[in-house]
């Protein structure tokens, strides 16, 4: 069982115990009220038989209240144990998340370093590159991503690249449903040397057509240089293959 599943299970069990404790407390209160009512009626009874009957009912309510209090005490004991287990499980989950976050940051740093090496021209390129275009490029790289991936990947990656003096443009290329992938990427590449595409389930969920992706590949092949750097996020090889097959099927 995963740490998150264990925490969810314990929270659910604690909620159930709290509801049961509340139910037993209600039973205690009801029995105490009935006891008091029957004691009062017994004291005002006009006959010995009626007084005896009311007293017996009051005694029965006392037993009922005591039994409910006992059950409540047992439930409270279980609740305390579950809360202790929850505290331990939450601490374990927090530690696991911290470790995952550190690994994610390390991965982003590695990707940023790789991107920096790719986006920055080599020593030879500084002297052998062709003449600059009439309109200077404003950025080294733009990051194309689904809006759902901005906080988790795009922004941290952009910050890491910026820290390494790489000019990054990504805010204006957050893709939402209805955007044209080809047009957005073309606009980004027009003002940047390279493009990073964050491939994720949310990215493919936008349902951009295969023709646009084909056009992007054709653009890269025509340029003779790799201008697109794909980054996989929450995407397995199997998921990627399934997405590609769906795109090809929708195209055919």
Q: Which residues are catalytic?
A: 212
What CA–CA distance (Å, rounded) separates 143 from 153?
10
Number of other CB atoms surrounding residue 55 within 10 Å: 16
What CA–CA distance (Å, rounded) separates 47 from 235?
83
**Residue with structure tokens 């005591």?**
66
DSSP reduced 3-state for 137: coil
Report how far apart, in Å, the C-alpha atoms of 177 and of each of 4, 36, 159, 245 are. Answer: 31, 67, 25, 21
Closest among 184, 11, 192 to 93, alpha carbons compared: 11
What CA–CA distance (Å, rounded) separates 60 from 37?
13
Whether 233 and 155 have beta carbons less than 8 Å apart is answered as no
Whether 184 and 134 have beta carbons less than 8 Å apart is answered as no
Residues in the chain: 252
What CA–CA distance (Å, rounded) separates 215 from 160?
30
């Amino acid at each position: 069982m995963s740490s998150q599943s264990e925490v969810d299970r314990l929270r659910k069990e604690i909620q159930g115990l709290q509801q049961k404790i509340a139910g037993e407390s209600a039973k205690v209160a009801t029995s105490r009220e009935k006891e008091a009512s029957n004691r009062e009626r017994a004291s005002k009874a006009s006959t010995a038989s009626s007084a005896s009957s009311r007293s017996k009912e009051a005694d029965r309510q006392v037993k009922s209240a005591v039994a409910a209090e006992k059950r409540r005490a047992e439930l409270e004991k279980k609740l305390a144990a579950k809360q202790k287990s929850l505290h331990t499980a939450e601490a374990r989950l927090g530690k696991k998340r911290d470790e995952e976050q550190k690994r994610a940051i390390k991965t982003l740093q590695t990707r940023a370093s790789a991107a920096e090496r790719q986006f920055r021209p080599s020593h030879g390129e500084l002297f052998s590159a062709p003449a600059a275009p009439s309109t200077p490029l404003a950025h080294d790289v733009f990051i194309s991503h689904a809006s759902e991936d901005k906080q988790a990947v795009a922004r941290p990656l952009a910050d890491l690249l910026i820290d390494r003096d790489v000019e990054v443009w990504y805010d204006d290329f957050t893709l939402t449903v209805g955007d044209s992938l080809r047009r957005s990427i073309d606009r980004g590449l027009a003002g940047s040397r390279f493009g990073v595409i964050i491939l994720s389930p949310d990215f493919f969920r936008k349902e951009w057509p295969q023709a646009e992706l084909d056009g992007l590949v054709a653009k890269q092949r025509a340029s003779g240089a790799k201008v697109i750097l794909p980054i996989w996020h929450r995407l397995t090889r199997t998921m990627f293959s399934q997405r590609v097959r769906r795109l090809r099927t929708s195209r055919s």
